[in-house]
Amino acid sequence: MLKWIAKRLHILKDRTIYTMAQCGHTTAIKGPISAFGESIIISMPPQENGSVKYCLACIEKMTIRCAWCGKPIFIGDPITLYVPASHFTVPDYAVPYTEEDPRRIDPVSIKEPARYVGCLGWECALSGVDRVGFWYPPGKVKRVPSPLEIALGSGGKAIIVNDLSNPNDTGTIVK
């Protein structure tokens, strides 16, 4: 068992732990990634065996751009799904929302009205109530009920969501 762990974990001189990812690459569990002119530090949760599913380089490649402002949407970021107005020209990099893998969708085959993945930034989202999911590996939308959908399902009662960037915070219905 210890031999197996020793093969999977490599402790370097600077004490950074590297783990063999399921993608086949060696990676740090925490580190910087960059895309479209912006950088963040990401920390990936290790699995029970000490490995992570994807390396930092693969996570970086899963970053997409917001259909509305063009800023990056990194893995784990909250997202919106809006239908563009008729006068809006959809950029080539816009990712359509489908139940399937969006990288395999031909944009011409999308039936109208198409919804596109956007960020929850101040310039794009009308409000936090429009959060409808998160951008997750391997590069697709993990759909969650929006605060508005939850409020409507509760008979129109108010809902408080403390952290829109937390996938586990579905809100508290105010009685």
Q: What is the pLDDT of residues 5-34, one digit of tens each?
A: 555 555 444 446 677 777 888 888 889 999
Q: What is the pLDDT of residues 35-88, one digit of tens each?
A: 999 999 998 888 887 788 889 999 999 999 999 999 999 999 999 998 888 888
Which structural domain range is residue 127 located in? 64-145
Residues 78 and 141 in one domain: yes
Residues 96 and 49 in one domain: no
Residues 72 and 35 in one domain: no
Q: What is the pLDDT of residues 116-153, one digit of tens each?
A: 999 988 888 888 888 899 999 888 899 888 877 777 77
Please provide residue 29's backbone torsions phi and psi, each rounded to the nearest 5 degrees: -75, -30
Residues 42 and 74 in one domain: no
Residues 8 and 79 in one domain: no
* Residue 93 in this model has a pLDDT that exceeds 80: yes
Q: Would 32 be classed as within a structural domain?
A: yes
Query: Of 62, 53, 66, 65, whose CA–CA distance to 25 is shortest?
Result: 53
Alpha helices in the chain (DSSP H): 2-8, 56-61, 147-153
* Residue 105 in this model has a pLDDT that exceeds 60: no
Q: Would 77 be classed as within a structural domain?
A: yes
